[in-house]
Chain A
């Protein structure tokens, strides 16, 4: 079907994209502005804010914390998502829909409620606040994404491929590595990247659970109080946005790759 044309809608779509992107683009724009004030007219080009950002030790440790938490969260939530997605797509489970609903609940509970209730739990079991508690909270909000991404991947290929492998003499474990894993790999990569980004960017839950170890968003939040530090925050924000965008594009591209592969693989 050739796409029909509708110039009104097309114009609207362009405006909509502008609404999505232009506000965010002010961050990189002013991060190169040679003025401590974030205001027009622009005062000239500089990279000194980036220099100051790189020299900030607190930023380094926050960044390192965020990377550690993000990597751990990505691995754990993707592993959990892999198990759950396989169970929910490959077995006749009485009550499977209810379990799926339960695992997507974190999407429907405000982050602040998740944050304070975890805070109460950790306090009750006398577990000190640390990056581990942040990780726990982030796994909670990342798992639904991992499950969704991986379930669509599992649904995308025929269950009889795994049966064929069993039938040809492989056991459950070797079947996983010879058939299932290569076929869900795009989903796994995509899930790893997306859950990493969600954790890396998450502020509120970490704010309640981090204790004295700041993650990068907590560090940024702290900097926002000081007007003279704003240009440095802008520089940091610009870097984060660019890196996030690149990772998302890779993740979506890999996922799309898997899905377009499915089209040609199908009968």
Chain B
């Protein structure tokens, strides 16, 4: 926390009786691409708007670069924002939009124009300065919004679902471009999104939020491989869960009694759950499950549905005694529905989570 460039201390925001953000602590490092990820209504946008200064926290402090900014209005903060709606001023042309924040910078007119030209080149819209705002496409508006914020050289760039309004291909192209721009300018980015793939592919670190609370802060790999609770595991990618009771540890491998489907093994066990008899949840990703012909040792089930996706197939395997079918991602196999199979995995691939 001490090396944090943006420090969020115990922040709470209540709207009337509703708590939108609930005692959140966060540290964001200098130059980091940091994402706030969560379903709509989880408080991620409210948290971003508190960093920007559009909402004042009900409790807590926010520091940027060591300076408390909690009571500063947006125009006094070293941050700039890219809005979800882009908020391109409709009565100004592209160049005037980008130059909007430079009026108070003390730069000469020539310097300002140079900055605008530079920004237009950066977003690959050179010579478009005289365009009217309503003549721009969605992708162009998004870039102008980005340039308008970056041209002020803020310490922090805040992005509120900036890619949400774009179609899938444009969005993917912009993800790469945004990441490149961030690398070039070296500014700290705080990025709000509800799209987990987007967050995983772009971020240095991600905070997963739900109901106003931060569930886990980690880099994308850790978040995917080692989620710390069922909600995070469920929100990021697909995950199979097996309820069970801890039997005991054999070395560093835990043995779990999963009732009707027998004993399961996993290596990644939080210390708090190692006590025999603990209620636990074993989580395993579909692609970590190996599928064998019927008769081989493992969990016995029957393929109930299969979707062929080209590079891989997604199968649903029903197992007696389990309410939900097990999701399996297979590389090559194209087992028809009705085939009997048996499922296994390496203890390394499975995670033990607390059962709520």
Which residues of A line the B interface, CB within 8 A?
92, 94, 157-158, 160-161, 163-171, 178-179, 182-183, 261, 264-265, 267
Instruction: Give residues 69-87 of B contacting A (CB, 8 Å).
Output: 73-75, 79-81, 83-85, 87
Nearest chain A CB to B100's CB is how many angstroms away? 5
CB within 8 Å for A169 and B90 given contacts A264-B134, A267-B85: no
A164 and B73: CB pair below 8 A? no
With both beta carbons as reference points, the residue of chain B lying nearest to A157 in the complex is identified as: B90
Task: Return B189 CB to nearest CB of chain A, in Å.
Answer: 15
In the complex, what residues of A have CB within 8 A of residue B148's CB? Answer: 164, 168
Among B100, B133, B152, which residue has its beta carbon within 8 angstroms of that of A165?
B100
Give the distance to chain B from A84, nearest Cβ to Cβ, in Å: 22
Contact A169 B89, beta carbon cutoff 8 Å: no
A171 engages B75 (CB within 8 Å): yes
Chain A residue nearest to B79 (CB atoms) is A167
Which residues between 146 and 184 of chain B lie within 8 Å of chain A, taking CB atoms?
A: 148-149, 152, 165
Q: Is the CB of A265 within 8 A of B90?
A: yes
The answer on a CB contact under 8 Å between B87 and A163 is yes
In the complex the two chains form, what is the Cα distance from A163 to B86 in whole Å?
Answer: 11
B73 touches A171 (CB 8 A): yes
Q: Which residues of A contact B87 (CB under 8 A)?
A: 158, 160-161, 163-164
Q: How far is the CA of A264 from the CA of B132 in the complex (A)?
A: 11
Taking a contact as CB atoms under 8 Å apart, the answer to whether B85 and A160 are in contact is: yes
Report whether A163 and B74 are in contact in the complex, using a CB–CB cutoff of 8 Å.
yes
Residue A166 contacts which of B73, B85, B105, B149 (CB distance < 8 angstroms)? B73
Instruction: Tell whether, in the assembled complex, residue A168 and residue B152 are in contact, meaning their CB atoms are under 8 Å apart.
Output: yes
Q: A166-B75, A167-B74, A171-B73 are in contact. Are A160 and B100 (CB under 8 A)?
A: no
| B195 shortest CB reach to chain A, Å | 18
- Residues A163 and B83 in contact, CB atoms below 8 Å apart: yes
Interface residues in B109-162 by Cβ distance below 8 A to A read 133-134, 138, 141, 148-149, 152
Q: Chain B residues near A165: list those with CB within 8 A.
A: 89, 100
A167 touches B75 (CB 8 A): yes
Question: Who on chain B is nearest to A175 by CB?
Answer: B75
Ranked 8 nearest A-B pairs via Cβ: A168-B101, A265-B90, A164-B87, A160-B87, A166-B74, A160-B83, A264-B134, A169-B104
Which residue of the partner chain, among B103, B149, B165, contacts A267 with CB atoms under 8 Å?
B165
Check if B323 is an interface residue, CB within 8 A of chain A: no
Task: Please tell me if B54 contacts chain A, counting CB pairs below 8 Å.
Answer: yes
Shortest distance between the CB of B191 and any CB in chain A (Å)? 16
Q: List 24 A-B contacts (CB under 8 A).
A: A94-B16, A158-B85, A160-B84, A160-B85, A160-B87, A161-B89, A163-B83, A164-B87, A164-B148, A166-B54, A167-B52, A167-B53, A167-B54, A167-B80, A168-B101, A168-B148, A169-B104, A169-B152, A170-B101, A170-B104, A183-B90, A261-B90, A265-B134, A267-B165
What residues on B are CB-neighbors of A163 within 8 Å?
52, 54, 74, 81, 83, 87
Q: Which residues of B contact A182 (CB under 8 A)?
A: 91
User: With the chains together, A109 CA to B137 CA distance in Å?
Assistant: 49
Measured CB to CB, the closest approach of chain A to B101, in angstroms, equals 3
Q: A160-B85, A161-B89, A167-B54 are known; give 20 further A-B pairs, CB within 8 A.
A: A157-B90, A160-B84, A163-B54, A164-B148, A166-B73, A167-B52, A167-B53, A167-B80, A167-B149, A168-B75, A168-B80, A169-B101, A169-B103, A170-B75, A170-B104, A171-B73, A171-B75, A264-B134, A265-B134, A267-B141
